[in-house]
Amino acid sequence: MPCFSAEVGPLSKANFVLDYDGVILNSLFEKFVVGFNAHLRIAGTTPLLGGSELHFDDYRGRLEAEPEIFEAFRAYVPLIGDVGENSVVFRLIERGLQVQDRESFRTTIADFGDDYLQACSAEVLELRRRYSEIDANTELCPAFPSVVHDIKQLANDVLFTICTTKPLQNVEHFNEVLGIGRFIGDIHVCEDNRQKVDILDRLAQDFSVENNEVGFIDDFARHLLPAHESGFKCFYAAWGFGGPEDEEAVERAGIPALGLDGFAPAIREFIAKQGTERKVSG
């Protein structure tokens, strides 16, 4: 599947790869609003949240009236892979279905058929594109302020790369809004989020470094585990959208789990270690 990136040359800095949603950007409400509206457009009707489209100025009030809908959606977020599944989950919520793991989730939604799943993906992408042109959309996706601050502070010593399934236009828009565009090197956007380890492999080759010289942080175990097994230095973003299954999986694998206050110290330790190893090897 194709990836697109901004070109940047190798620098004598530590290499660190960042997921975007759930690491830099708190896009949980955006996922909900876009997913719900896409579901409504495809299904034509829904018993949830009054059965009408959510708007930027009314979604919070309507969620407060039916908080169990958002709670049900939040429980599904760790299981979501393809962007269209942000819409698919509302079909499950309507039926009161609960699924415990990614494998069961994929098996369940496969029964809906490929045409339906593809329609959900297309609708979510189209709504994301449309909403990105509306200023109020930015309010749906606040940043994690300390992460933005840390990126700016650490950029002199770290070449930050983004690896995400979020559309490039959206990433560039939020980078500009957050003022971090000039602190980011490559932006890799993949249609298939299971390709992240392939991107890491390619980055290590491009920068002529060993896999353990590339750091990677994500909020889902399914992205981290293949990278960890390939020798990359991985960290779990515990402030993101992962769930208990993710927490258990990274703990079993020995992947450090970081809170927001642990993000910068972990990267500084990573930088120091890379500097020491380079001196020894040199």
Q: What residues contact 159, with CB distance under 8 A and at least 6 apart?
A: 8, 10, 11, 13, 14, 15, 16, 185, 207
Chain-wide mean pLDDT for the chain? 89
Cα distance between residue 189 and residue 20, in whole Å: 10
Write the pLDDT tens digit of every residue in 51-62. Answer: 999 998 899 999
255 has a pLDDT exceeding 70:
yes
pLDDT band with cut points at 50, 70 and 90 for residue 132: confident
AA letter at 122: A
1 has a pLDDT exceeding 60:
no
What Cα–Cα distance (Å) separates residue 1 from each residue in 7, 18, 21, 194, 255? 19, 20, 20, 10, 28
The torsion defined by the Cα of 190, 161, 221 and 250, in degrees rounded to 10, comes to 170
Q: What is the pLDDT of residue 135?
A: 73
AA letter at 146: S
CA distance from start to end of the chain: 38
Q: What is the DSSP letter of 142?
A: -
> Count of residues for the chain?
282
Cα distance between residue 119 and residue 192, in whole Å: 16
Asked whether 236 and 259 are in contact (CB, 8 A), the reply is no
Write the pLDDT tens digit of every residue in 75-95. Answer: 999 999 888 999 999 999 999
209 has a pLDDT exceeding 50:
yes
Write the pLDDT tens digit of every residue in 102-126. Answer: 889 999 999 999 999 999 999 998 9
Write the pLDDT tens digit of every residue in 170-204. Answer: 889 899 999 999 999 989 987 654 589 999 999 99
Percentage with pLDDT > 90 across the chain: 73
15 has a pLDDT exceeding 90:
yes
Write the pLDDT tens digit of every residue in 60-73. Answer: 999 999 999 999 99
Write the pLDDT tens digit of every residue in 270-280. Answer: 999 886 554 43
Q: What is the pLDDT of residue 6?
A: 40
